[in-house]
Structure 1
Amino acid sequence: MADRNEKEKALIKEIGSLRQRVKELERCEEERKRTEEIFLDLFNATEEVVILMDREGIILGANKNAARLYVVPMERLPGTSIYDLIPSDRVKSSKGKVKTVLETRKPVRFEGKLEEKVFENWLYPVLYDGSEVQRIAIYVRDITERKRLEAILKQTEEKYRNIYENAIEGIFQIGPDGRFISANPSLAHIHGYDSPEELMKTAKTIASIYVNPDDHHRLMNVLFEQGAVQNYEAKMYRKDGSLQWISTNVRLERDGQGKTLYYEGTMMDITNRKMVEEALAESEARYRTAIENSNDPIAIIRGDKIQYVNRRFVEIFGYGEPEDVHGKPVLLVVHPDDRDKVITINQRRQRGEPVPSRYEFKGITKDGKVIYIEVSAASIVYRGTPEYLVYLRDITERKAAEEALSNERNRFRTLSENAPFGIIMVDKEGVFEYINPKFKELFGYNLDEVPNGLEWFRKAFPDPKSRKEVISTWIGYLRSTRPGEKVPRTLPATCKDGTQKIIHFIPFRLATGEYIVTLEDITERIQAHEALVKSHQELEQLNRAKTKAVNHISHELKTPLSVIQGNIRLLKRKLKRLPIDANLQNIMETLERNLERLFGISKETDEIFRVSQELEAGALLDNLDRLWQRIEDLSDIPPDVRSHLDTLKAWLSQYLSGSAESFQSINLFPFVLDVLERVKQLSS
């Protein structure tokens, strides 16, 4: 009877030990939940896009990140085709991936690029009753270090779940010889046996199932020294020879004389826990490595104190070691100008009130240097204490670039506002973003009256035929030009008051796809040029008339002078044999002198004629040069026109240099008019 009471006491004591173990398991479960909450908070701190669509690609639901990614209002996403949101050149490929998901009923992963960002895309089939794919879930996220940690977090959570779902303890009694006296079904199951009887029959001694015999020897030595051992862990063999980790609680039972009666205790399979601990240690090591080597500063804040910072945080704020800022107020790195702002946001976050997901503040380094910081933070619970995981980014260079860009924009606006010519800024869709005051002065329109290119063409070119030609020319320019290229055009444009002005257009294409167009009023210049050309033509006609008269006089004068000269010479030879009166001799000499003067006048008229010809040729060459300068930018000049101009310039150059054998005065005016008319047709 006494022996039975002792056994009952031992059993009650063992049950008490089991209760303590259950409490320990419950504590582990709570620790797992807290750890799970931490990892979930980390996961929620990242930004990702989630979309649910049907088999045809119609969106059934999406989160706010999807609306921000595709720049579409949230309320418009449901019912919209996903293929209308992605670039047209990727629609075919995307449909192929969706088809693969529908056929294989397996997820498809691929990476894509959008606005210089690389995204990881997952297409998950949504099955009903395990048969046909009814819907597809799309997850789009940045491929970052946090994604890798999220995957590890998920794996760790699954291992923890498996551990706690299968945590069943076995109860045993073992004699001094190491053989099992009794075992419960849980113990048999732990070691891979179908029943306790099979376990006790097959396993000769407890020592035989230890992988390392030294583990058993150490356990027995501690047991004899202390009388009990808690949570002793060792590797053991299962029935099939596989290895497992077992946690053992055992105590030594003695009789009244101190002789060992048996050992009794519990065993728990902790193989999964061991594996999870190893994976968790590896995960935490990788997570810490990722955090420590992040290019962005990272901190953990509790209240208003800094609990942890990574290497990059220390670097950008100029401190030597992380310990230099641990336990210090967050205002340590905040410039006095922005401390009230940071305090307000921090207090609102602690009260659970809404705060911006991202904000900026002016920071200050250890040596007093001002830097600009962008912050995003997430609330987490770590070891039961509310904390904030804070991601920071040094945006000092970006701020400087933004300020420089703002200054450049101000300078451009100042220049454009005071420019002596009109300026239009056109976006990629043809919308007028800006017109300067000179444009309004030239045409009388403001931006509301000509908001886009179509409205401008309609008002500036009211004639439908002319407008059609201008629009066709503009479209051709858009298709053929590259960024930085400009193709000037001169066209008549109608103003708001109905007047017409001749405008020199110079469109300039930017690398962003936008256009800057300058418009210069050259009406007076064209009119002055036409008046100058007309005066020049009249002077040329007078000059040709003069040249013709001089040539005629020279020709008509030479013939009679030659006859007179010949007769005087004959008369002198006949008078040599006769006595000559002095008066007659004087008359003859006077005739010869006057004749010489007339010949001199004839030579002078020849010289005048020659110089006039050279002046005509020089003026014509200048006109051809000016004509060539106006049309040399045209790439589609007919070859015969170019050949005529080149030949004419070469011949005139040869004549002026004296290498041409002869020159014949011709009327080139009709030819030049013909060339100008053909060039005008090309440029219109």
Structure 2
Amino acid sequence: ELVHKVRQAVQRRQAEHNLRESERTSRALLDATTDAVALITCDLTILAVNESFARRFGLEPDQMTRRNLHEFIPLDLGCDRKARVTEVIASKKPVRFEDRRDELFLENSFYPIFDESGDVFRLAMYSRDITDRKRSEQDLHTAYEQIAADEEELREKYNELSLSEKQVRESEERYRSLVETTGTGYVVLDMQGKVLDANDEYIRLTGRSSLDEIMGRSVTEWTAPYDLERNSEEVSRCARNGFVRGLEIDYMYPDRTIQPLEVNASVVSSESGDIILTLCRDISIRKRERRECSS
């Protein structure tokens, strides 16, 4: 019997040791991330938080455990968090959302934790500071707006030109230089969508290496197959209405690489007849950031 009791005591101490080791490991994992992380009950009682979470409130993790989240956040925010918890409990699925707190933009996720019967009895909260990303998006948006304004001014000035052949050539070179400095693709099409002229950036956007490779050919030849019909329709619409604005479409390189574009086009009168002046901008970064924001 003594041996049995000793064995039980040893096993109990080993279990306690393993538990402490597990808790230390879990704590290290929580503190290894810069995200603010908390484990809460369904009534918002805090069971554990990492250092990043506590730091947002100017506290240590131990100062927040076993207290209700309502004690640390404004009433309206507390009501919102309770509603999110209720949503997770009802759907048994994670919820993700963004909110703003003063100058901070936060990306939040609530994950359900299930008991043995499959009901939600706890939740894991993750909150990531995305302020820098939001500011970058705003800066990028402002830059796009400026480029769009410059493009509009360019189109208006182009339509106002009534010059001799020499002046037209000089003016074309001047405005072509303006387009080049904005990193914008420039292509002149006839009313059937065939290339009459283009700059180096547009040639790059088609995946070709020289103007000879695209001269006299239809833009549909390097349009992605799934955008062929739509691109053809937009060329026809531009010919009818006199313009196309903000068209997003994909080109395909000879090696099948996809190149996303934003297209703005206007019908312009020239001595040889109507032509379509088209400005194309690479929007690969914009589309990638959209995917990252929605993922």
Q: TM-score range by the shorter chain?
A: 0.3 to 0.5
Larger fraction in strand? 2
Larger Rg: 1
Tell me which of the two structures has the higher relative contact order, counting C-alpha pairs closer than 8 angstroms and 6 or more residues apart. Answer: 2
TM-score (norm 2): 0.48
TM-score (norm 1): 0.23
